[in-house]
Chain A
Amino acid sequence: MEFDEMKKIWDGQSHQSLYVIDEKALHNRIRSKMNSVRHAASITEWLSIIVYLGAGGILLVLNPFKPGANIFMYLEAAWMFVTVAYLVVSRSRRIKASRRFDRTLHGDLDHAISLAGYKLRLSRIMVWNLLPMGAIMIFSGWEAGKLLKVSVVILISYALAFYVGSKGNRVDKRRRRELQVLKEKLDAGN
């Protein structure tokens, strides 16, 4: 076969769609994405609740016996408990809100986008939440006469947490964007 003939065969391809979208497979895929975002959100919630509850509890229990303990340590523990309360309320709101979505393709897609948005917000809040906590710790260090040491530790921890959090945020953002593009495409197709 000569190359010109191959070109003719190539040009003979139909200009119609070579493929059609399989709605059932698409629905399954959306549902699987939704479940993975829900799982990730749940893990973030539980992990944060456990860490803040544990750390706050330890601070509260050990503080009275610790030499050099001060009011800022109690404030830090209180802030952690407020964060736990916020997480519990957010979680219950999220679960309640999930009942609003029907189990259709579009309903599941809306649910997945909403969950991805929630997860992104939660991650951002958790990263920014480290800022007041760090500030309280610095005050505590200042009160205990260890300002420099505490400040350096806080700064390094915050930079690390911010880096890890930002990376996670980018993943969440991309995940939400992909779902939104899919929704816009499906809406445009209707």
Chain B
Amino acid sequence: MTEKEQLDILEEWLRLHKGVIFKVVRAYTVEDYDDLFQEIIIQVWRSVPAFRQEASVSTWLYRISLNTAITWSKKERKHAGAETLDKVEHLLQDNRTQIDPRLTWLYGEIHKLDEIDRSVTLLLLEGFSYKEMSAILGISESNVGVKINRIKKQLIARSKNYDSHGI
């Protein structure tokens, strides 16, 4: 595959599925979304030749994006506090005109989960099956099931708090 072909495929994937990457970025970071976004784009670009069409493009993108975000998140936690000045300025600016406060709350709750649970929640909200989640995350289906039960209970319980505060 030539670099040009690789780039064309990346452009096409981004055109059709960039929402996937934005959602992952938003779920994994509050401040450094441009860094994580850039990292995911580079990893997706590198992954293009390995894509075998055994899974859909969006599943593939979720797999790459989530794995990148998990690794990035662990690395960032290690280097927390080592912020450089150029990180203060963000490459990506918020383009959302109307923000649903319930969505902001939902992202906030996702942030509170650990890296793997965040991935499970994202995939669950996206409507992936247990089997697909298991393949994307590399954990057993039964483990996915246990995690989903726990996460659902947790989110529903916290939403009661949210409702009662009337935000």
Contact = CB atoms under 8 A, between A and B. Distances in A.
Interface of A: 1-3, 6-7, 9-22, 25-26, 28-29, 32, 178, 181-182, 184-185, 188
A32 B87 CA distance: 11
B90 A181 contact: no
B33 interface: yes
Contacts of B89: 22, 25, 28-29
Interface of B: 7, 11, 18-19, 22-23, 26, 33-34, 37-38, 41-42, 45, 86, 89-96, 100, 102-103, 106, 125-127, 152, 155-156, 159-160, 162-163
A16 B95 contact: yes
Given A3-B152, A29-B89, A17 B103 contact: no
A127 B124 CA distance: 51
A131 B26 CA distance: 50
A115 to B, nearest CB: 17
Given A6-B125, A14-B96, A21 B106 contact: no
Given A22-B89, A22-B90, 14 more contacts: A1-B159, A6-B155, A9-B100, A9-B106, A15-B19, A17-B18, A17-B95, A22-B92, A22-B93, A28-B89, A181-B41, A185-B11, A185-B41, A188-B11
Nearest to B109: A6
A interface, over-half SS:
helix
B96 A18 contact: yes
Interface centre among A10, A26, A32 (most CB of B within 10 A): A10
Contacts of B125: 6-7, 10-11
A77 B126 CA distance: 67
B interface, over-half SS:
helix
B22 A19 contact: yes
A29 B91 contact: yes
Nearest to B153: A3
Contact of A19 (B95, B103, B163): B95
Contacts of B7: 184, 188
A12 B91 CA distance: 25
B90 A13 contact: no
A42 B33 CA distance: 32
Given A9-B106, A10-B103, A18 B163 contact: no
Contacts of B160: 1
A185 B152 CA distance: 39
Contacts of B152: 3
Contact of A21 (B92, B126, B127): B92
Given A3-B152, A6-B125, A9-B102, A20 B11 contact: no
Contacts of B95: 16-20
